[in-house]
Amino acid sequence: MPSPLPDLASVHDELELTEDGVLVVDEWEVGVRISLRRRRLGLTIERDRTLTLHVPKGCEVRRAEDFVRSSAGWIEAKARLSEKRRQLHPTRSLGDGEIHRYLGRDYRLLVVDDASDGGRPVPAVRLVAGRLRLDSGVAANPVLARKALADWYSRAGQRWMQGRLQPWAARMDLPEPTVGVRDLGHRWGSYRAGVAGEGTISLHWAVFQLPMHLVDYVVAHELAHVRVPGHGPEYWRLLGRALPECRRLKTELDELGRRVWMGDLA
């Protein structure tokens, strides 16, 4: 007598989510992040309206789907807020004379024939005598110019961060993670735990347009995730001990951050 066919619904219930997978629930497409430390499920929505589901290891697909569906009202409210904020981000033409910020200060973009310096090649973007010098050959192509400016912010931000993280890690009594600067879409930063307790903080290159005290806030915000995933009461207690004004700084970042150039071209 042949064995009965498995119940497909039961098989579906028992399937486990995989790291960096995608879960489609009704009209939502949700990225998946698995944390060994997490016990509860959580959702985050980015400024570009992408959804990420944070789950404990071994979480079943059915449990995740039920959680996403139960969060429908929260998702819709956050999506409306994200869209409102996204519309305020400026666009740039990357032309001569345009103003760009670095660590809260304004610098004028100067398009120059700057391909070499004494016969040596130079970066497409340099900060010289209070001007951001952009090579004219690169400026002729807005896509290349955007990449060159993003690369400059990444290099400058990585240099500025040297030694900046250690005091915050000491305040929170946490190990100091590796720090990298790259394009994170519409996220200011992220933290990813490592296998052996080591982890990596990533910062968006656009963060370095903010004033220094808000860059420090983003750094401390991500560093707190070394110990506490999510943004529950325990997380804010930890961050508040190191940075008592963290709530005020969050509000300031929400307001000022909407006017930061995130790489959109006119």
115-164 confidence digits (pLDDT tens): 656 667 889 999 999 999 999 999 999 999 999 999 999 999 999 999 89
pLDDT in tens, 65-75: 999 999 999 88
More confident residue, 103 or 193: 103
More confident position, 219 or 9:
219
Cα–Cα distance measured from residue 194 to residue 159, given in angstroms and rounded to the nearest whole number: 23
- 113, 154, 131: which is closest to 146 by C-alpha? 154
| Residue 200 burial by Cβ neighbours in a 10 Å radius (0-12, 13-18, 19+) | middle
Q: Which amino acid is at 97?
A: G
Check residues 206 and 228 and name the one with the higher pLDDT. Answer: 206
User: Distance between CA 223 and CA 148 in Å, rounded?
Assistant: 28
* Nearest-angstrom CA–CA distance, 114 and 123: 9
Average confidence (pLDDT) over 55-63: 89
Q: What is the pLDDT of residue 50?
A: 82
pLDDT top residue among 193 and 242: 242
Residue 229 structure tokens: 């995933």
Q: What is the pTM of this model?
A: 0.73
- Confidence class for position 169, pLDDT limits 50, 70, 90: very high
